[in-house]
Chains A and B, each alone.
Chain A
Amino acid sequence: MPQITQLATVFASQLFWLAVVFGIIFFVVGRRMVPQIRSTVAVREQKIAEDVEKAKAARAAADTTEAEWRARMDEARLEAARVAQEARRQIALENEARIKAALDKVDAKVDKARQRIWTSVQAARAELETVASDAAQQMVEQLTGLKVGGDEAARAVAAELQMLGGQGQPDPAMLGKGKSKRAASRAR
């Protein structure tokens, strides 16, 4: 076994070179390089931990912001719906008022026209009565030679016309008829 037979001759050399080699490894690699590498690893691990922490914080912040934004959006949407509803209601009210005003104007015009018609009819009737009583006076005079007073003739004519049954009279029901029809349509 060379390890034993050579031991005496090579031991000093073995010890010396081992001391040199292991010494260099210990002092250069073990004492200098290893701590540096460990510090690099430590720095990296710390950096990673910090970054993870930062990322967590950022995510939390983003979540809060999103929640806030969502709440604000919901609120705004609700507000918008409310405003739209209000506007629709306002417009409907205005429209109704305007239509009502226009209809009132139309009604007033119609009433006035009717009034005019009524007055004209009354005037015509009075005229007719005068003409009829004159005619009746003359007819009576010529036929009987009797002289009939103006008042008497007029009364007779009026009575006669009354007896004919209001046909010449404007019908008060007719005046309200058109109005009720419009009122019905408006109610719709």
Chain B
Amino acid sequence: MAAEGKIDPMHQFAIEPIAPLHIGPYDISFTTSAAWMLVALVIVVGFMAIGMRRELVPGRWQMAVEGLTGFIDNMVQVNIGPEGRKFVPYIFSLFTFILVSNLIGLLPLAIIPGFHPFTTTSQFSLTGVLAVLSFSMVVIVGFWRHGLHFLSLFVPHGTPKPMIPLIAVIEFISFMVRPFSLGLRLFVAMIAGHILMEVFGSFIVNGLNGGGVGWAVGGLSFLFIVFVVALELLMCVIQAYVFALLTTLYLSDAINLH
């Protein structure tokens, strides 16, 4: 490694305060993370606002916005049924927020010195809250609609009588794991991709400083990183879709039971 080339791939995930702010005992300082959440907010609202002309013959932007709402609408309709219409706003907000947050985290803004994008969805403090939100919605909707009958979710149809206690325990554990898997999946996918890009990026930088063999390694790393970025773009969309889809499926469980 070159003398000054100590590159910390984890540094990109550090949250830095921008403006300190306190309410009572709580520190709610405006941070880099908060700033990027606001960027996502602006993009989502701006995108929707452009497509809000509501003309009978839609333009391109209106088509794009209608395509997005139609996509979520369709997903909810297919997985939950007609009763799912109530949940479209929530699923839509979830999908667009995660998608935009994922994508802006990939913007190559680091070419501006002293500036780098921050991926809010690589913080489990954020994905976890979203997952808990989805999970609590599932639990509340389930008990609201079915009362204690909601617990029959843990006993699938056709379970032999003697197996019921065992199955119920397994089902209960798998049910309780849902918020963790939901939040961690997104968080891990994002952090892993970003670390991978950072590591191979550092290989390029260090390789260029390291002479003949280093150049070869750098070149290979460059090729590799191109594919990783393409994969990451795909991952951004897939993870947003998976998060929204799983929330929909869990809600479907709560509404339709099995």
Prevailing SS type, chain B contact patch:
helix
Q: Which of B106-132 contact A (CB under 8 A)?
A: 122-126, 129-130
Flag if B33 contacts A10 (CB, 8 Å).
yes
Give the interface residue-count category, chain A. Answer: 35 or more
Flag if B33 contacts A22 (CB, 8 Å).
no
> Which chain B positions have C-beta within 8 A of A10?
15, 27, 31, 33, 125
Flag if B44 contacts A17 (CB, 8 Å).
no
Digitize A23-62: 1 where CB-to-B-CB distance is under 8 Å, 0 elsewhere: 0111011110111111011011001000000000000000
Q: Which among B13, B48, B66 is the interface contact of A3 at CB below 8 angstroms?
A: B13
Flag if B97 contacts A25 (CB, 8 Å).
yes
Closest to A24 in B: B41
Of the stretches B87-95, B154-162, B228-236, the one at the interface is B87-95
Flag if A47 contacts B56 (CB, 8 Å).
yes
Give the interface residue-count category, chain B. Answer: 35 or more
Given A13-B28, A17-B33: A37 touches B51 (CB 8 Å cut-off): yes
Flag if A9 contacts B92 (CB, 8 Å).
no
Residue B54 lies at the interface, judged by CB distance under 8 Å to chain A: yes
Residue A69 lies at the interface, judged by CB distance under 8 Å to chain B: no
Residue B29 lies at the interface, judged by CB distance under 8 Å to chain A: yes
| A21–B49 alpha-carbon span in the complex (Å) | 16
> Which chain A positions have C-beta within 8 A of B130?
18, 22
> Which chain A positions have C-beta within 8 A of B15?
2, 6, 10, 13-14
Closest to B52 in A: A33
How many residue-residue contacts, CB under 8 A, span A and B?
Answer: 126
Flag if A37 contacts B14 (CB, 8 Å).
no
Flag if B89 contacts A26 (CB, 8 Å).
yes
> Which chain A positions have C-beta within 8 A of B126?
14, 18
> Which chain B positions have C-beta within 8 A of A40?
54-55, 66
| A13–B19 alpha-carbon span in the complex (Å) | 11
Q: Which of B1-32 contact A (CB under 8 A)?
A: 10-11, 13-15, 21, 23, 26-31
Residue A159 lies at the interface, judged by CB distance under 8 Å to chain B: no
Given A7-B125, A21-B38: A37 touches B65 (CB 8 Å cut-off): yes
Residue B81 lies at the interface, judged by CB distance under 8 Å to chain A: no
Flag if B54 contacts A36 (CB, 8 Å).
yes
Residue B69 lies at the interface, judged by CB distance under 8 Å to chain A: yes
The 8 A-B residue pairs with the shortest CB-CB distance in the complex, in nearest-first order: A30-B89, A17-B34, A2-B14, A30-B93, A16-B28, A12-B26, A21-B37, A26-B93
Query: Can you offer 12 A-B residue contacts whose CB atoms are under 8 A?
Result: A1-B10, A3-B187, A11-B125, A12-B27, A15-B125, A17-B34, A18-B126, A21-B37, A25-B96, A28-B45, A37-B48, A41-B69
